[in-house]
A and B are shown apart, each in its own frame.
Chain A
Amino acid sequence: MSLNWKQITLSLSPVWATLVALTLGVGLILLAGLNPIKAYYALFMGAFSNIYGISSTLTKTTPLVFASLGVALAFKGGYFNVGAEGQLYLGGLGATLAGLYIHGLSPLLHIPVTLAAGFVAGGIWSVIPGYLKARHEVNEIITCIFMYFIGLLFIEYMASGPLFEPGAPSAMSPEIAASAQLPIIIPNTDVHLGFLMSLTLVFIMHLVLTKTTIGYQITAMGLNPVASRYAGVNIVKSMCILSFVSGGLAGLAGASEIMGLKHRLFDAFSPGYGLDAIVIAFLAKSNPIGVMFASLFFGTLRSGAGMMQRATGVPTTAVLAIQGLVILCVAISLVLPQWRPRWFRADIDKETPRKKENE
């Protein structure tokens, strides 16, 4: 029984880590000479006290869920996809193109086609590092970062060049066709269908990972690629599919953002959702349900930050510091359970006899 408790405590370690991070955040705000309780209260109220706050929280959570699912899936299969931000941008571009240049379809058809375009564009951006990793053992972290910058600058070029709407005040494309726009699901807010889709995907991915042969194979590949190859898994093919789907999910983040909220392609339309997604997947230990809650947490931080600044003078950047602390605490929580036994063992096996002999 005690072991069971230990396991529960361990599996909830990200929650403890987050709480520790928030506590450390108290210290930071105190250092700045401000009132932390008021600040957190304002942050929470900003995110949830009224329909606008909730709307803002949910719209910010939506792309985070999509992108984080993509990253979490990649982590699960041993593909360290840190390029979700670039894939998100490409997904936005894909959706924009499908939304701008396909005409005369009913929304019932146009929306899926546009989403698919975003998925494919994001997938292509991710399958390049995935293939290079699987086939040529190129470190995907580096190629993902390269692809991220290429994607970011490519979108900037597209929004200010080929897709630029003449006369617009800054780099942006014309509005996509109405038939490609995601409907609003809570009247008088910005909350669009993408939110529901992201939640649906959470449960689909949970099912796939736990109940299907595909999930089994991805998990096996992530835990031990050598054994998977030995057992007959085609690693190159599997890694390509995995990286494509992972990037595709990140692409959906961009696509839903364009289709549901922005309706046009802007040069820097994401405030770093794809980068947060790495932290969220990490925080959620790549578990889809965990991803949902962690995304909501990060969405809350983003949406409440403004209110916090207005009400208490704590700058919005404090939220970034808290996010940083969360990463730090989660990272520590990952090594903590292993740390003591290893030190303990090393001490017994190696050091003691030698020390004895010296004396």
Chain B
Amino acid sequence: MPFLEMKNISKRFVDVVANDRVCFDVERGEVHTLLGENGAGKTTLMNILYGLYSRDEGEIYLDGKLVIISSPYEAIKLHIGMIHQHFMLIPNLSVTENIILGLPSSRGFLLELKKAEENIDNISRKYELRVDPKALVRQLPVGLRQRVEILKALYRKTDILILDEPTSVLTPLEVETFFKIIRRFTEDGLAVIFISHKLNEVMSISDRITVLRGGNVVGTLKKHDTDPNKLAGMMVGKEITLSLDKPCEKKGKRLLEVRGLSVNSEKGGKPLVNNVSFDIHEAEILGVAGVDGNGQGELTDAIAGLQPVSKGQILINGMDVAHLSPRKRIERKLGYIPSDRQRVGLVVDFSVAQNLVLKDFRDTPFSKQRFFLNRRQINTNAERLIKEFDIKVSHGNEKVAFLSGGNQQKVILAREISGKPDVLIAMQATRGLDVGSTKYVQERILEHREKGGATLFISTELDEIIAISDRIAVMYEGEIIGILSGGQEIDLERISLMMAGVREQKTKKSVS
């Protein structure tokens, strides 16, 4: 009988099934990895185990006994500890204070910092998790903060330790030490659940691996019975609808050229975008694949002028715009569909008509002498675009806040495409949309391509990228790891390996 067993766990959010009858178990002294793409349901499953989400169906057995975990407090009482991707620490408190936060003290209202410090010292010496218990958390680098989180869990006498993408904040060297520490935990009889999508790390630390895809378990394997290629295939799935028929392969003018572009992090450390170069020609879509948060947002913001460029050039139609204002870049025919439509792409308290002229309300025909707004033109424009882009609203004066996500996205799409841009950047343009709206957005982007525009299409959905792109660039930790030409030769495993940070040994077909 396994130490912890989760049986037939199901969890539905409003319209997505995040977990569909998932079975998962872990033994003392082993590292069991949950592997899968973003949105595969890994974190959901663990949040259920930790009591953050309630499950819709299924049971959890601990040591053979049925347990009900409806809050993290209960999870902690059952000696389950979870280290989240985003740390839950209070920066202005010391390490010790953070660790004992929420725990009762035997001295009633008085703190027992001394005793706690000793305990922490003992634990950290035992596992070689060296941290100064008196240091303030805000003074610690990210790697050490993670140690504090782990100490916090251990201090509460953890038997099961859940680590949600713990290596994403660590440098390769730190990862090595981190894995040594995990080994020490398992030697000590802890059960460790490791969530990741990085294949090489998974292969190095796991005893067993469970692959999730779309909320389902694809399979559970012993490490010795598998290899990265097999895992990648399981992660992505074979049944991918291959690319649409795209006519004309002859390359025209280069509309967008990015040369050695870097964006430095404000916090220092590794650049968020690191020496990225690519071209996009007339009537071409360059898809950018990659796990979310690998620099895609910074890359698009830098091209649009919302994030300062540290190094490199951005040429639109041959003219360097890397240090021009967003306005100047818009004037040079750059369109941008940002990933966060409500925060960046729209003024949600404005009407549809007002949002449709957000970028050109000063220009004719929407203003008279650039001073007075021309309401009639603004309304006519709205009526035209509402019809053309099939935006579901009763009239143009409706507030955008009342629209559905799909219709909000259509408002942005209408504004950006009707501006007839030469270069269109579409960042996560279909995220969170229903099937119909997704298809609509994709078709519009393909139409932009047919009309000769260049498109930079960023998505975390590999299927979508493959379906829509002429060429595919893969981004990992701020770098473009490789660019593959699209069409029939697309090799899924190759892309998913690259997405997980495995570099091509011999770049057969990398362009530019």
A residues sitting closer than 8 Å to B (CB atoms) are 211-217, 219-220, 223-224, 226-234, 353-354, 357-358
CA distance A227 to B354 in the complex (A): 13
> Shortest Cβ distance from A338 into chain B, in angstroms?
12
Please determine whether B70 and A358 come into contact, CB atoms closer than 8 angstroms: yes
> Shortest Cβ distance from B337 into chain A, in angstroms?
11
> Shortest Cβ distance from A77 into chain B, in angstroms?
13
Q: A227-B345, A232-B330 are in contact. Are A213 and B350 (CB under 8 A)?
A: no
B386 sits at the interface (CB 8 A): no
Residues on B with C-beta less than 8 A from A224 are 343, 346-349
6 additional A-B pairs beyond A213-B367, A220-B350, A231-B326, beta carbons within 8 Å, are: A228-B347, A230-B345, A231-B359, A234-B327, A357-B54, A358-B70
Q: A212-B371, A232-B325 are in contact. Are A227 and B346 (CB under 8 A)?
A: yes
B residues sitting closer than 8 Å to A (CB atoms) are 54, 68, 70, 304, 306, 325-327, 330, 336, 338, 343-350, 354, 358-359, 361-362, 367, 370-373
Partner of A214 from the list B304, B338, B371 (CB cut-off 8 Å) is B371
10 contacts between A and B (CB under 8 A): A213-B371, A219-B350, A224-B343, A227-B347, A230-B306, A230-B338, A231-B330, A232-B326, A234-B325, A357-B54
Please determine whether B70 and A231 come into contact, CB atoms closer than 8 angstroms: no
Please determine whether A354 and B54 come into contact, CB atoms closer than 8 angstroms: yes
Please determine whether B358 and A231 come into contact, CB atoms closer than 8 angstroms: yes
Partner of B70 from the list A214, A220, A233, A354 (CB cut-off 8 Å) is A354
Residues on A with C-beta less than 8 A from B304 are 230
Partner of A213 from the list B68, B346, B370 (CB cut-off 8 Å) is B370
What's the count of A-B pairs with C-beta under 8 Å? Answer: 70
CA distance A191 to B361 in the complex (A): 41
Residues on A with C-beta less than 8 A from B370 are 213
Residues on B with C-beta less than 8 A from A229 are 306, 326
Residues on A with C-beta less than 8 A from B327 are 232-234
CA distance A213 to B365 in the complex (A): 12
Q: A230-B336, A353-B54 are in contact. Are A216 and B361 (CB under 8 A)?
A: yes
Please determine whether A226 and B359 come into contact, CB atoms closer than 8 angstroms: no
> Shortest Cβ distance from A204 into chain B, in angstroms?
13
Q: Classify the interface of chain A: helix, strand, loop or mixed.
A: helix
Please determine whether B373 and A216 come into contact, CB atoms closer than 8 angstroms: yes
CA distance A224 to B306 in the complex (A): 15
Please determine whether A227 and B358 come into contact, CB atoms closer than 8 angstroms: yes
CA distance A121 to B358 in the complex (A): 33
Please determine whether A211 and B345 come into contact, CB atoms closer than 8 angstroms: no
Q: A227-B347, A234-B325, A234-B327 are in contact. Are A220 and B358 (CB under 8 A)?
A: yes
Q: Which 8 A-B pairs have the closest CB atoms?
A: A232-B327, A231-B358, A224-B347, A354-B54, A231-B359, A223-B349, A232-B330, A232-B326
> Shortest Cβ distance from A95 into chain B, in angstroms?
29
Residues on A with C-beta less than 8 A from B349 are 223-224
CA distance A220 to B360 in the complex (A): 13
Please determine whether A223 and B350 come into contact, CB atoms closer than 8 angstroms: yes
CA distance A211 to B361 in the complex (A): 12
